[in-house]
Amino acid sequence: MTVVDVVDGDTMDVRLPNGSVETVRLLGVDTPETSVTQVSPDEWEGVPDTTDGRDWLANWGDDASRYAEDRLAGKEVYIEVDSEADRRGYYGRLLVYVYQSESSETSFNERLLTNGYARYYDSTFSEQEAYQAAEDTARSQNVGVWDYTAPETTPTDAGGSGSGSGSVIVADIHEDAEGNDNENLNDEYVIFENTGDKAVEMTGWTVSDEADHVYSFPSGFTLEPGDSVTLYTGSGTDTDDELYWGENGAVWNNGGDTVTLKDENGDTVDTYTY
């Protein structure tokens, strides 16, 4: 099939080989709604039914839609129905597993759960146990939508400037690569700067986004006073001022995200929200 439109994170329109178009609903998963008036906090353990909780879910609904859009829109995918599940849902949508390649062993449905964009939707289908386990793991590790915390009372600096302590800060981010982000990974990068007067040894330090993609600084990496280092999403050869994550897809959401820098003890050194 070809994905002709992504409705939201768990629903899309696909063109069949005969040219007809079907609306498909991803089996066994549910992404948040994108409107604060339509989200259901009671379905998301740990997210309160408050203004902030509803905003959190709606924002993750948008993130789930972008995640699906970036990976599926206009692409050829492979779909599979489940003999243990209904063929169509309440609204007449075809209930399916979606695979990004013919040889893929992991469905896009399960990837949504693993990366914290969706919850397990309790219904009858053959992958119930695996999908429940995927959600449990994401929840236990506070991945994505499951990483909700009540808003801090201390205001952060305007303009995305860091809120942390210490001499290493998140100085800047270039989240919107030229062209297709997933095809230009080294035009997506974060810059870190040592604003102190002492060298900082960063072995064991990590960088993460709101979806819990995590990069670990290489062993022995040291940032000298006044120096900066750029972390590129793609691949390359590490140097004193350039590091490469080695991801095969974009990390930073163009519509907004948070860069979190933690030290070797797991303590937050700085954050940068844009």
Name the active-site residue from 25, 54, 119, 139. 25
Q: Cα–Cα distance between 110 and 72 in angstroms, integer?
A: 14
185 — phi, psi (to 5°)? Answer: -65, -25
Q: Pick the catalytic residue: 54, 93, 111, 119?
A: 93
Residue ranges of alpha helices (H) inside the chain are 51-72, 108-114, 128-140
The answer to whether 33 is a known catalytic residue is yes
Q: Specify whether 25 is catalytic.
A: yes
Q: Is residue 232 within a helix (H) or strand (E), and if so which, with residue range?
A: strand 228-232
Run of H or E residues at 244: strand 242-244
Query: Choosing from 33, 127, 175, 210, which is the catalytic residue?
Result: 33
Active site residue 188: no
CA dist., res. 169 & res. 91, Å (int): 49
Smallest CA-to-CA distance from 116 within 72, 172, 57 is with 57
φ, ψ dihedrals at 247, nearest 5°: -75, 155
Catalytic machinery residues? 25, 33, 93
